[in-house]
Amino acid sequence: MNWLPGLALGALLLLGIQPASAADLLKALIVDGQNNHHWQATTPILKAALESSGRFTVDVATSPPSTQSLSNFSPDFSKYSVIVLNYNGNDWSAATKTAFEDYVTNGGGVVSVHAADNSFVQWVAYNKMIGVGGWAGRNQASGPMIRWRDGKQVLDAGGPGSRGTHGAFFSWDVEVRDPEHPITKGLPPKWLHTRDELYSMLAGPAENVTVLATAHSDTTQQNEPILMVISYGKGRVFHTTMGHNEESMKDVGFVTTLNRGAEWAATGEVTIPIPTNFPTADKVSVWTPPAK
């Protein structure tokens, strides 16, 4: 068995995670290169977080800047078990879109991180994959919003106006709504997330969506979906609206749900354990990437 080097191994053991053999590792691809958030700083955190689980090897596909054509941007999605989208930018070429749709339809896994749900407002298949999104001209015609009311998720058509907003950058509670799903099974019913943007008023097709966790919005006073899973064809999508910046991602709750969500999207199962330093209802827990 090929064990990870000493420092990384020590970090895994501190989290209660046993490293996998090379044959067991899942291949993940992070897509970045365009984002109105600081992807140059957050992609390394996402990569370190996934690798720290002992479950993934991670590659990165960086698109050209928004000022250049994306006609030659064509990652080979089929090589990977899961695609992690840290991307919010220009449309891909028709061929790249088709390849991505085929990948997910045929069973590929996807993780949509934070502003990735701002992308591709006119791409029908993508909006079905993420369930709901915001900004970029989304409005009432984009579809309903999802809220949690009276113990269940409901669709809310809302009134006219734009979709996608957030309030203050602050620390807020995450409440688990589906404690039996593999991603959230064993998590505390409520935990305190570090400072982040709390997305609200996301809208879209809202098809085949299961809300895993919510947070009470300071702008809408609604219980807004924070963690979701979506089925698209044979594929599985994990959608997290957390992770605005480096501070927001360096949170044990974010890292744990990212890793477990990525494993579920890739395999349909979760083997990554919940670390002993997972945040509580009244205390955040800061994650430190392993030393290189």
Which helix (H) or strand (E) segment is 224 a member of? strand 223-232
Contact 198, 166 (CB under 8 A): yes
Cα–Cα distance measured from residue 136 to residue 122, given in angstroms and rounded to the nearest whole number: 9
The pLDDT score that the predictor gives to residue 133 is 98
DSSP secondary structure string for all residues of 68-129? S--TT----GGG-SEEEE----SPPPHHHHHHHHHHHHTT-EEEEEGGGGGS-TT-HHHHHH
Contact 196, 244 (CB under 8 A): yes
The phi and psi torsions of 200 (rounded to 5 degrees) equal -145, 165
Please report the beta strands in the chain, taking only residues with DSSP state E, as ranges in sequence order.
26-32, 56-62, 82-85, 109-113, 145-149, 152-156, 170-176, 190-196, 209-216, 223-232, 235-240
For residue 272, the one-letter residue type is: I
The pLDDT score that the predictor gives to residue 21 is 60
**Number of C-alpha atoms within 13 angstroms, CB side, residue 220?**
22
Contact 132, 202 (CB under 8 A): yes
**Pairing of the two strands 190-196 and 223-232:** unpaired
The pLDDT score that the predictor gives to residue 23 is 58
Per-residue pLDDT of the chain (292 residues; tens, 9 = 90+): 333 333 344 444 444 445 556 558 999 999 999 888 889 999 999 999 999 999 999 999 999 988 888 999 999 999 999 999 999 987 899 999 999 999 999 999 999 999 999 999 999 999 999 999 999 999 999 999 999 999 999 999 999 999 999 999 999 999 999 999 999 999 999 999 999 999 999 999 999 999 999 999 999 999 999 999 999 999 999 999 999 999 999 999 999 999 999 999 999 999 999 999 999 999 999 999 888 7
Q: Look-up: residue for tokens 């999605």?
A: 77
Query: 180 is written with which tokens?
Result: 């039996």
